[in-house]
Amino acid sequence: MSTINTYNNIFRSDKLEEKFNEVDETIYVEEVALTAANLIAMYTTPVQLVAAPGAGKFLEVVSASVVFDYGTTQFTGGGAVVIEEETSQTALTGTVAAAVIQAAADSITKVIPVAATLVANKGIFISNATAVFAAGDGVARVKVAYRTHDTGL
């Protein structure tokens, strides 16, 4: 008796993809560089960190880090920096205090996820949620770790 193909064609590519989507717990990491102009403009123009995953999927933030590289001129003004869901302004993590961006020193700040009601097919952005930064010339890098999930809806 042959045991070939006793798994009902599980080796067909469409079946493998289906099974992979059921069990995919891969953590992806994106790194985005922020210029001084990005930091200043984020109050009105949030910066995309991760693109929307497509219909029937949502993104889960696992963690994020903001690496701030002080230039020669401190930022003034500003407010809390937050990683949020695209267009909904739903915070996905804790905040980075304005004082971190205003400081005359390099820093690394880890932010952790917070409870949030998520919406399917929305990207992840970083924004200065409360006021505009001004006058600074530092830069930053944001590293965000995330998972993509099927909604099943």
pLDDT at 62: 95
Give CA–CA dist 103/106, Å, rounded.
8
Alpha-carbon 74 to chain mean position:
26
106-136 pLDDT per residue, tens: 999 999 999 999 999 999 999 998 899 998 9
| CA atoms of 120 and 2, how far apart (whole Å) | 45
Residues present in the chain in total:
153
Count the domains in the chain. 1
Query: Does residue 76 belong to any structural domain of this protein?
Result: yes
**Burial bucket for residue 96 (CB in 10 Å: 0-12, 13-18, 19+):** buried
Instruction: Report how far residue 20's alpha carbon sits from residue 123's, in angstroms, rounded to the nearest whole number.
Output: 22
In a domain, 82, yes or no: yes
Structural domain includes residue 11: no
- Give the tens place of pLDDT for each residue, 47-105: 999 999 999 999 999 999 999 999 999 999 999 999 999 987 789 999 999 999 999 99
